[in-house]
Every structure is written in C-alpha cells, then in structure tokens.
Amino acid sequence: MAIVEVKNLCVRFAAKGQVKTAVSNASFAINEGETFSLIGASGCGKSTILRVLAGLQREWQGGVNLLGSAIKPGVRFQGDLRRNVQMVFQDPYASLHPNHTLYRTLAEPLNIHRETQIATRVEEALVQVGLPTDAAKRYPHQLSGGQRQRVAIARALLLRPKILLLDEPTSALDMSVQAEILNLLNRLKQQFGMTYLLVSHDADVIAHMSDRAAYMSGGSIQHEYDRAALIRGEHRMVAA
C-alpha cells in the first residue's frame, strides 16, 4: 500500500515580481516500509517536495495523500498527521536551538503533544541514537556534528512517526561519521517500522539506503530507478 502518494504536484513561488516554478507536475508513490530517494541537481525542487509533505510549505497544487488520507493545500498539520510525519534537515546546528539544553529540545515535542513520563522518554530517545543519558544537560555547541545530527534524529523519532523525511541528513558530516548516521537510520527504520523519503546528492548513499529512487530535473521527476537499477549503478549517470 502506498503510504505517500504525490500526483501532479506543482509549487510556485512569487519572487521579485516573477513566478518561479519550483515543482512541476511531480508524481510518485512510496510503499509502506520503503526507502525512496530523490536525486538531482541543486535547485531542482527536492527540498520543496519534502516541505510540502511535512506541512511546512502549504501553498501547492495537485494531489497529496499521506497515510491514506488526502491533504489539502493551506491546511496546518495537526494531531496524528503532525505526529506521523517528521523531518530531519541537513544542518543539525541550524535546526537545534543554541541556547536550549538537549533535555529542553527533546522534551518540547513531548510537552506539546501532552505526553507523560517526559524525563524517561528523553533518556530513551538519547540511548536509541547512541548518546549517553547525561548528554541531556549539554548544549548543541558542546557536541560534534555527528552527535548533533543524532539529537536531531532523536527529536524526530520522539513521537514515533511512521514517515521520516530526510533532507541531505549526512551531507554536512565527515565520511566516517556519515556511515555511522546512515547505519543508525537503517537500524531505527527496522526497529520502528518506518518509511523514509531521503534526499541525497551522494550516489553511494543512494545505493546504500534506497529501495527506489527518482531523478528530478527542473521540478519534475524524469526517471525512476528500482533496487536492481540502483545496484547496477544506473543512477550514477545523473547523481551530481
């Protein structure tokens, strides 16, 4: 069953008196449990698609189905939908509040959703991503880049989402740290039965992580690769 369905998605921005088409008639579907990836040059519309699916970009046209329900443009995500779709960004430094301890950062989504046993849940979240529980009292600047991305992943997982949107989650990290984070993501996906939509410009990352991938250019999906094509490395022709 498709857990994400995107049909003829269009996103336009008004910039300097001109209309810029960021996403143009993009269509794809992701089955439950898959890792589906978007590849393509900078500016081709990958992040914009993820932002639509996260409910962050609310102006769009076309059809979007998440977890079996149609979502509408202009509508703020609430309740189960908000809980079930989470996003991890490229730069963990920018996505973590510099003056908040990790405890505060991780407790916040739990408080917003009126969860209980916050302290225990925060400890569990840290352990799940391979951080010591006493890291809770630290600040982002006291962590390495890889540790910060682990915190961003822990925060995304606190509400047990079904869909994780990963926008270049390891591009800002050193090679060895990249591999650790990718393996962590694969382990967590198995553990919690999630579905991933991944953006990466790295052909090795795509081949390592994805069941299928789509190549985008000029806001449209140009080609899809299945697992066999990814193993053969056919996506390497287009991955920047």
Ligand X SMILES: Nc1ncnc2c1ncn2[C@@H]1O[C@H](COP(=O)(O)OP(=O)(O)O)[C@@H](O)[C@H]1O
Q: Is 47 in the site for Mg ion (CB under 5 A)?
A: yes
> Cβ distance 136 to 108 under 8 Å?
no
Residue 232 interacting partner from Mg ion, ligand X, none (CB closer than 5 to 8 Å by kind): none
Q: Is 13 in the site for ligand X (CB under 6 A)?
A: yes
C-beta closer to ligand X: residue 136 or 199: 199
Residue 18: CB minimum distance to ligand X, A: 10
The two three-digit tokens of residue 154, written as one number: 């822990």
C-beta closer to ligand X: residue 47 or 170: 47
Ranges within 16-75 binding ligand X (CB under 6 A): 20, 22, 42-48
C-beta closer to Mg ion: residue 47 or 84: 47
> Cβ distance 23 to 47 under 8 Å?
no
Ranges within 100-129 binding ligand X (CB under 6 A): none
What is the Cα–Cα distance from 188 to 199, expressed in whole angstroms?
Answer: 18
Residues contacting ligand X: total by CB under 6 A: 11
Which of the ranges 7-15, 43-51, 115-123, 218-226 carries the binding residues for Mg ion, by CB under 5 A? 43-51
> Cβ distance 124 to 107 under 8 Å?
no
Task: Give 171's contacts (C-beta < 8 A, 6+ positions apart).
Answer: 90, 200, 201, 202
Residues contacting Mg ion: total by CB under 5 A: 1
Residue 172 interacting partner from Mg ion, ligand X, none (CB closer than 5 to 8 Å by kind): none
Q: Position 153: which residue type?
A: I
C-beta closer to Mg ion: residue 47 or 149: 47
Work out the burial of residue 230: count CB atoms within 10 Å of its CB; fewer than 13 is exposed, 13-18 middle, 19 or more buried.
buried
What is the Cα–Cα distance from 219 to 130, expressed in whole angstroms?
Answer: 37
Other CB atoms within a 10 A radius of the CB of residue 18 amount to 7
Which of the ranges 44-52, 171-179, 180-188, 209-217 carries the binding residues for Mg ion, by CB under 5 A? 44-52
> Cβ distance 235 to 213 under 8 Å?
yes
Residues that bind Mg ion (CB under 5 A): 47
Residues that bind ligand X (CB under 6 A): 13, 15, 20, 22, 42-48
